């Protein structure tokens, strides 16, 4: 059961470009997390957003939680090859099961 839909599924851009990844659901989440996963590794937490409308910045990455807490976005400014990876949003349902989104595979070309 994929409660969290991400778009786009694949993204290939040139170094220096900006991009936005979206995470959408029909359900309300008490919090959402964003993870990045590199090949052969497990996902690693980037950020947790809790409050509707919340914006968090992590260097060139900006995360926003929707006002209704049903969606979130990740914006990367001036992408670098090191940003390449699989980006995953994730959150708990009412039963505290932790579900991941469908994933966005980002490739930044030098």
Partner 1 sequence: EAGVVQSPRYKIIEKKQPVAFWCNPISGHNTLYWYRQNLGQGPELLIRYENEEAVDDSQLPKDRFSAERLKGVDSTLKIQPAELGDSAVYLCASRLTSPGELFFGEGSRLTVL
Q: Given the rule CB under 8 A, which residues bind partner 1? A: 1-2, 4, 6, 9-10, 30-31, 33, 35, 40-45, 48, 50, 86, 88, 90, 92, 95-103, 105
Choose between 44 and 109: whose C-beta lies nearer to partner 1: 44
- Minimum distance of partner 1 from residue 11's CB (angstroms): 12
Q: Give the separation between CA 57 and CA 75, rounded to whole angstroms.
A: 9
Taking the least distance from each CB to partner 1, the nearer of 19 and 33 is: 33
Cis status, amide bond into 8, omega within 30 of 0: yes
Q: What gap in Å lies between CA 58 and CA 103, rounded to an integer?
A: 20
Closer residue to partner 1, CB minimum distance, 58 or 78: 58
The nearest distance, CB 88 to partner 1, in angstroms, is: 5
Closest CB 96 distance from partner 1, rounded Å = 6
CA distances from 91 to 16, 18, 77, 85 (A): 30, 25, 24, 20
Q: Please, what is the minimum distance in Å from the beta carbon of residue 37 to partner 1? A: 8
C-beta separation of 70 from 29 below 8 A: yes
């Amino acid at each position: 059961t994929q409660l969290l839909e991400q778009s786009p599924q694949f993204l290939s851009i040139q170094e220096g470009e900006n991009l936005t990844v979206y995470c959408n659901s029909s359900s309300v989440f008490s919090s959402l997390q964003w993870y990045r996963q590199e090949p052969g590794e497990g996902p690693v937490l980037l950020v947790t957003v809790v409050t509707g409308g919340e914006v968090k910045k992590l260097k060139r990455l900006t995360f926003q939680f929707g006002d209704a807490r049903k969606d979130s976005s990740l914006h990367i400014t001036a992408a670098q090859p090191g940003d390449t990876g699989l980006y995953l949003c994730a959150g708990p349902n009412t039963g505290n099961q932790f579900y991941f989104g469908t994933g966005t595979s980002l490739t930044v070309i030098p």
